Structure 1
């Protein structure tokens, strides 16, 4: 199934690798030209580390389909990075979005609290007209070795919606070179989810890094609310997305995997 009404559960061995919340707004050009000193001062206690990077902007294309096609390179976009003292939380601000991410997800309530202050400060200082896209992404990486499930097939651990070919008895799981599922589904009148699911190896792109040979299951959920969301409703929009995320995640699990993740 794609959705489950299984009660919300905290897992001691949850497979969450990274969580990202991003809110996009109509471009505020002053952010690109003036360093956000007032914003930094408002959040410096929680995010004391700071760096500025220049991201390449996509070129502007005009005259598409006509004889006078022009491609104009655009100036780079300033991307301001604010990190917590332990480096586990990162806040990004550009002229188009504000985003919070973490590689050590403590649960939704703590994540939402970590976002409250910087988001309120950003709205107060920059007064975005509205949010064009409110997004919440959960990247889950499931390791059978970590959970003591070596020797178990993915078809025993992940729901049929994402493992259908792996359930065919005439082909062993190890013979599949690729078996990914990509789904875009409407969740309600304003929310959608893009889901990527499938087994694979995680590559470490660092020079000389030792590669992990284990085949893991990647379950990547990108949930978002499009349209113009008033700034005062941003928190409610994120709560709605989180509610959908829980139903999707639980819908992907079998009871065998739930038990291995050690529910609290």
Structure 2
């Protein structure tokens, strides 16, 4: 722990070279009797088209296990993704969710404001009595042989997995550690992974063409969640704090020294 008065999120935001690969937040709701995705898309184009001038349509799938034990992918409908001009920001909307993703994250307040702007449009187009899940996720990625060999100086053993117990005269090729913590009514999924070139822990995270180490912090709340704007904003701040505070617990002062260069 650090005695610095800054919160972990602020300390990380002030770093000159933070290893933050992307930030993702999502709000989900149950199936609605009436939801016009085309109307939502048209409103986003009208209201936020200057912020997100590009768009792409995709298909959302869910994995279903049938009676014989087989696994099938079933379509849940369209997803429309909007991208900023530099494609570092994307806003996605589907029948059951809205999500914001950024590879150019600077601070929590700006990020939440952008997500709420999209959510305001959804709420103007549809009546959503409650939400079912709100999540806030930070994905950190370390690359380069020098930094990969210094992980034990920058992170505590709890998140290093195979790095802290590698056999003698052995090179670690792949390792993955996953933990789920309950924090009051919320959960925090923590995953760390040593990956080879071209590998990723998640299909939504593009791989890199070199070995890497990932620290993924996904804080989320599930259940019958209040859909009022202020309540959602409060949840997003709370979830961000859960993930950020844990990040502060698993990095060392040497980490801040390294990534403030």
Q: TM-score, normalised by structure 1?
A: 0.79
Aligned length: 246
Q: CA deviation at 1:74?
A: 5.5
Q: Secondary structure at the match of 2:213?
A: strand
Distance change (3 Å), C-alpha of 1:156 and 1:129: same
Once the two structures are superposed, the pairs formed by residues 146-225 of structure 1 within 5 Å of their partners are: 149=146, 152-163=149-160, 165-168=162-165, 171=168, 174-188=170-184, 190-203=185-198, 212-213=209-210, 215-225=211-221
Q: CA RMSD in A?
A: 3.2
Q: Secondary structure at the match of 2:99?
A: strand
Alpha-carbon distance between aligned partners in 1 of 2:56 and 2:166, rounded to the nearest angstrom: 53
Q: Gaps (5+ residues) in structure 1?
A: none
Q: Secondary structure at the match of 1:262?
A: coil
- Whether the 8 Å CA contact 2:37–2:94 is kept in 1: the answer is no
Q: Residues 68-103 of structure 1: CA distance to partner in whole angstroms, max 9, x if unpaired?
A: x9x998555111112222222111111111101112
Residue in structure 2 matched with residue 54 of structure 1 by the alignment: 59
Q: CA deviation at 1:106?
A: 1.8
Distance change (3 Å), C-alpha of 1:18 and 1:47: same
Distance change (3 Å), C-alpha of 1:201 and 1:252: farther
- Whether the 8 Å CA contact 1:60–1:74 is kept in 2: the answer is no
Q: CA deviation at 1:151?
A: 8.0
Alpha-carbon distance between aligned partners in 1 of 2:123 and 2:252, rounded to the nearest angstrom: 41
- Whether the 8 Å CA contact 1:32–1:77 is kept in 2: the answer is no
Name which of structure 1's ranges 12-21 and 150-159 shifts more when overlaid on structure 2.
150-159
Rg: which structure is higher? Answer: 1
Alpha-carbon distance between aligned partners in 1 of 2:164 and 2:72, rounded to the nearest angstrom: 50
Name which of structure 1's ranges 151-160 and 51-60 shifts more when overlaid on structure 2.
51-60
Residue in structure 2 matched with residue 227 of structure 1 by the alignment: 223
Q: Gaps (5+ residues) in structure 2?
A: 201-206
- Whether the 8 Å CA contact 1:42–1:118 is kept in 2: the answer is no
Does 1:260 find its partner at 2:255?
no
Q: Secondary structure at the match of 1:101?
A: strand
Alpha-carbon distance between aligned partners in 1 of 2:29 and 2:175, rounded to the nearest angstrom: 36
Q: CA deviation at 1:123?
A: 1.6
- Whether the 8 Å CA contact 1:5–1:247 is kept in 2: the answer is no
Q: TM-score, normalised by structure 2?
A: 0.80
Residue in structure 1 matched with residue 236 of structure 2 by the alignment: 238
Q: CA deviation at 1:17?
A: 0.4
Q: Which has the higher strand share?
A: 2
